[in-house]
Every structure is written in C-alpha cells, then in structure tokens.
Amino acid sequence: MSQMPVNKRHRASRDSERTRAALLATGTEIFAELGFDGAKVGAIAERAGVNKAMINYHFGGKQGLYTAILETTFAEANSALSVLRGRAESADELLRRFVEVWAGIAERRPAFPAMVLREVLSGGRHMDQRVLPSFLGLFEHVREVVERGVREGTFRPVNPLLTHLALVGSLVFFFATRSFRERLIREGKLPAAIPDTAGFVRHVQELTTRGLAREGSP
C-alpha cells in the first residue's frame, strides 16, 4: 500500500489542527451566547466553516467539544500559575500575577468568561468530572498564596475562598459584560469612559493587595 507523501501528511495535519482550533474558538463563542443546551452542533460547524461531522471526529460530539474548551483553557491557566510557584516573589506580587494570568486568558479567549459564568450559574450541570481538578486548581493557587502571605506577615488573616471568589468573580464579570457595558457607554446611557483592560487589571491588583495587607504593612 502506498503511503501519503510527507508534505501532504504535514498539510493534512495542519488542516486538522486549524479545524480543531476553529471549532474550539467558535464553540466557545456560541456556548457563551446560548449556553450548552441552546448551542447546536450545526450552528457551531457553520460558523467555524467546517462540516459538522468534524465535531464528532475531533471531540466525539457537543459534550466533548464543551469539555475540551474547559479542559484546554483551565489547563493553560494552571500551567501559567504553576510556573509562579517556583518564584521567590512576595505573596502580594504572586497575587498580582494571578490577576494578570486570568486577564491574559480572557483577552485571548474573550468569550470564555461568559461561557464559564453560564456554566457556574447552571450549577455546573455540564462540567465533566475530568475538568473539576483543573477548575479547583485555580482556587488552590489562591489558597497557597494567601496562606503564604499570612505566614510571612504580608497579609492579615483572611478566608482564602472569599479571596478567590472576589478575585475571579470581578475578573469574570468584567470580561463577560464587556460588550454590554461598552454599548451602554457608546449610547450615552452609562456616563463613563470605556475602561481598558490594563487599567482594570491594575485596579483589581491594588484593591486586592491593599485590602489584604496586614495593618502597618508598607
């Protein structure tokens, strides 16, 4: 049996990677807009510009695509945060980095925060159990940093879970509501300037680290 030439195999591999990436990006958009139940396989494939059979081929169906989006994004976040664990930085600086990592992911995947918000509001009904460790890993990072800050005397004694909720909640809400907020501002219904991401990141960093600081800390 003849084998496919090397250049054709490479081209096929690139095409397969592009198809998979297009489905992940488009799936995130439509899941964010319509939720898991409202998203249709045909609509995802049509917007991605591929045959809907590709969803079964690459992901085994709609649930598989949904799970892959959550898995890959949370894995990216945890990978970036795991690098921070080895750094000899102060706890408040590590918390600042946490904000930057989350904001960076939201900038690269603008529909993801709304998708996550929908999933959480649904009670996690469509979150595969395989995704849960990565999802909870984000809290573990905050817990470790907060407990380290308390030990070092940088932070006052605080609840790590409440800190995590305040951080992630503000970031998810900021990015999930961006288009609505900016429309209201452009229409003159919300008397404010359109906030830029960098400014918001600095605001959350200052709000969090100053709010957690032990009394008398510089």
Cβ atoms of 147 and 160 closer than 8 Å: yes
Per-residue pLDDT averaged across 36-62, rounded?
96
The span from the CA of 126 to the CA of 116, in Å, is 11
Give burial (CB, 10 Å; 0-12/13-18/19+) of 137.
middle
Q: What is the pLDDT of residue 3?
A: 60
Domain layout of the chain by residue ranges: 63-212
Residue 152's contacts (CB-CB under 8 Å, 6 or more residues apart) are: 90, 91
pTM equals 0.88
Over residues 180-201, the mean pLDDT reads: 96
CATH topology of domain 63-212: Tetracycline Repressor; domain 2 (1.10.357)
Q: For residues 158 and 215, is the Cβ–Cβ distance under 8 A?
A: no
Per-residue pLDDT at 8: 52
